[in-house]
Structure 1
């Protein structure tokens, strides 16, 4: 069975100002992440504006990612659809495009009940032989893949991991009590990584790693080594920026961080609009404070 460990950034899809995809900038950002020690790459997450892209654009992103990743780390793709038929078809297509795993959202168009949720993931798991990470974000999508639902899915060998994003760090312990080590548990929110790893999470699907891969990998590695005191020092510098990962405008905020840290394009696709006014000033101040503190730290 596949096991994933480490920092898997949820990669932003770089865009030109007119909303078209900037493949070159997207590939450059992926190469930068791998060079700074991440353990996996996830393209087309929510942060990658998956739902705003056309099918041919998703294909282009996956194929471009495959070329630059070049099997150095696992390459996962987000899978976000409304119907089971479209989701299972996408699973097969994404495998053909070069994805080596899937991070699967719940249905985007319907809040499934527990029985329906289990059937949704079973159907997608049976559609291809790619390993699957369940994207559990009930805050955004209204569907909670609880430990009870995971027990129903435990006999699906291709479902191997859970991105845990309930916002309640106690869920890590609840999953381990109920399911042991059956699923790899990935922290899905940046401002709970130290807490989650203290409780047993072994992976991190991270947004702000797009901007600060070296520092995020260091936080993860310190926690993995049991050096939580060392991790806390860096975590406290990063946490105000990490809080931006939990906001409804996380796409704009994280792209702004990338722009300020290393010059990546900040553009998003409408209806998301560029940050302006007080909000832009506030987010910029948070990010620039982290940049300065990291500079002082050396």
Structure 2
């Protein structure tokens, strides 16, 4: 039977110590907190998890720690971000052996594939392991757009089951359904488009700010998915200024700072990223603290 992922799947930040080394205890604690607050799945090693900044053995350690922390309670996916098809296939097989239950697969990080090459990339990856695949479509960041026409060519590959849609054009959700029907699960991949996306029929959400506010984000998803848009809008308007931070090039720093302010998680990042300072830090802190205070009044 085809895998059907639904619900809120936070893109988990990889917690680090001040010296840039992995803090697996803090990462595991954050995963446990997310599951305890009702998320439907977790994704480690996303872009938000600083995947490209980690060494191969570090990625393996993150997955192994996540498998232990999740303990079978929800689906555990791993981001897969590689340059060559051979490296992507090898990583997929390794992540499967480590216990990941699915892949959120980037396009090639070093080459902007055309339509034919994009189809070949994902078909090759699908053939490399037994894991179901969520396509990570973020043409703004990676220059490759997995269009409805490409999805039509991937429809005969059973293990490609889902697309995280992050092209920025809300009309894409309807275009996917019109082209492919219900063949693929469609997940919103942008925090500040979630209510709009749910109105158009997405069945899931890969979320950044859920790391900071899991209970509130799960509630928002459930309200909108259940058709209570009046209540959803009230909560959405409170969260949206913080959700806008998910679309910035410094989303890793911004979301880690939100986690730090909300529940004390370490905010350290790995170079070339640097912690926030000065006016930028003050501005982001103000947004997060205002959100904390307003949520407390609801």
What TM-score, normalized by structure 2, do the two folds share? 0.99
- Measured against aligned partners, the alpha-carbon deviations of 1:50-91 in whole angstroms (never above 9, x if no partner) come to 000000000000000000101100000000000000000000
- Measured against aligned partners, the alpha-carbon deviations of 1:70-116 in whole angstroms (never above 9, x if no partner) come to 11000000000000000000000000011000000000000000000
The match for 2:93 is 92
Q: Structure 1 stretches of 5 or more lacking a match?
A: none
The match for 1:9 is 10
- Say which SS state the counterpart of residue 262 (structure 2) adopts: helix
- Displacement of 1:296: 1.4
1:269 aligns to 2:238 (yes or no): no
The match for 1:129 is 130
1:281 aligns to 2:282 (yes or no): yes
- Say which SS state the counterpart of residue 261 (structure 2) adopts: helix
The match for 1:209 is 210
Q: Structure 2 stretches of 5 or more lacking a match?
A: none
The match for 1:181 is 182
The match for 1:225 is 226
- Displacement of 1:248: 0.2
Map of 1:1-298 to 2, 5 A cutoff? 1-297=2-298
- Displacement of 1:232: 0.5
- Displacement of 1:223: 1.0
1 CA distance for matches of 2:189 and 2:296?
Answer: 27
- Displacement of 1:176: 0.4
The count of corresponding residues between Structure 1 and Structure 2 is: 297
- Displacement of 1:24: 0.2
1 CA distance for matches of 2:201 and 2:176?
Answer: 10
- Displacement of 1:224: 1.3
- Say which SS state the counterpart of residue 205 (structure 1) adopts: strand
- Displacement of 1:230: 0.8
2 CA distance for matches of 1:121 and 1:229?
Answer: 39
- Measured against aligned partners, the alpha-carbon deviations of 1:227-275 in whole angstroms (never above 9, x if no partner) come to 1111000000000000000000000000000000000000000000000
Runs in 1 of length 4+ with deviation above 3 angstroms?
A: none
- Displacement of 1:119: 0.2
- Measured against aligned partners, the alpha-carbon deviations of 1:265-286 in whole angstroms (never above 9, x if no partner) come to 0000000000000000000000
1 CA distance for matches of 2:204 and 2:36?
Answer: 18
Superposed CA RMSD in Å reads: 0.4
What TM-score, normalized by structure 1, do the two folds share? 0.99
- Say which SS state the counterpart of residue 205 (structure 2) adopts: strand
